[in-house]
């Protein structure tokens, strides 16, 4: 996985946008809510939302830690992106997108051009 593959996966999702926040973090959002974040400086590290069960399972491994500032919302930080295959990355990013999207009010989703 590299930053360009990550961008392609994220930007294929309906209504996904990208933005640089905090000076050096590439953030992918749906209706202005982040679903994936990575640093623009190497080495590539990626943060995303997971379920509570996945959070507990994944953060008990070496390559995945609770994401700073947002771990209490079940966000993880993958410090070694080779931990998952490209197919697993696609599934995890889509899952993060869906977990975030489901919490967004319908009016905001419609304003972002998404059919709900």
For residue 49, give the CATH number of its domain.
3.90.1150.30
The per-residue pLDDT for 21 is 94
Cβ–Cβ under 8 Å, residues 37 and 46:
yes
The total number of residues shown for the chain amounts to 116
Confirm whether 53 is domain-assigned.
yes
Q: How many domains does the chain have?
A: 1
Q: Is the pLDDT at 113 greater than 80, yes or no?
A: yes
Tell me whether strands 25-30 and 16-21 are parallel, antiparallel or unpaired.
antiparallel
Its domain, for residue 90, covers 3-111
Confirm whether 116 is domain-assigned.
no
Residue 115 pLDDT class (50, 70, 90 cuts): confident
The predicted-structure confidence for 25-84, as pLDDT tens digits, reads as follows 999 999 999 999 999 999 999 999 999 999 999 999 889 999 999 999 999 999 999 999
The per-residue pLDDT for 116 is 73
The per-residue pLDDT for 99 is 98
The per-residue pLDDT for 63 is 92
**DSSP 8-state secondary structure symbol assigned to residue 44:** P
Q: Is the pLDDT at 97 greater than 90, yes or no?
A: yes
- Alpha-carbon distance 42 to 96, whole Å? 23
- Bridge partners of residue 76, in order along the sequence: 48, 66
Q: For the whole model, what pTM was predicted?
A: 0.95
Confirm whether 82 is domain-assigned.
yes
The per-residue pLDDT for 45 is 96
């Amino acid at each position: 996985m590299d930053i360009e593959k990550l961008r392609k996966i994220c930007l294929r999702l309906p209504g996904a946008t990208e933005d640089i926040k905090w000076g050096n973090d590439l953030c992918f959002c749906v209706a202005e809510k982040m679903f994936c974040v990575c640093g623009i400086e190497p080495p590539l590290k990626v943060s995303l939302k997971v379920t509570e069960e996945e959070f507990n399972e994944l953060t008990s491994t070496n390559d995945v830690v609770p994401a700073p500032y947002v771990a209490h919302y079940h966000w993880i930080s993958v410090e070694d992106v080779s931990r998952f295959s490209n197919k697993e990355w696609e599934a995890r990013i889509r899952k993060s997108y869906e977990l975030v999207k489901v919490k967004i009010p319908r009016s905001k989703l419609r304003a972002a051009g998404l059919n709900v």
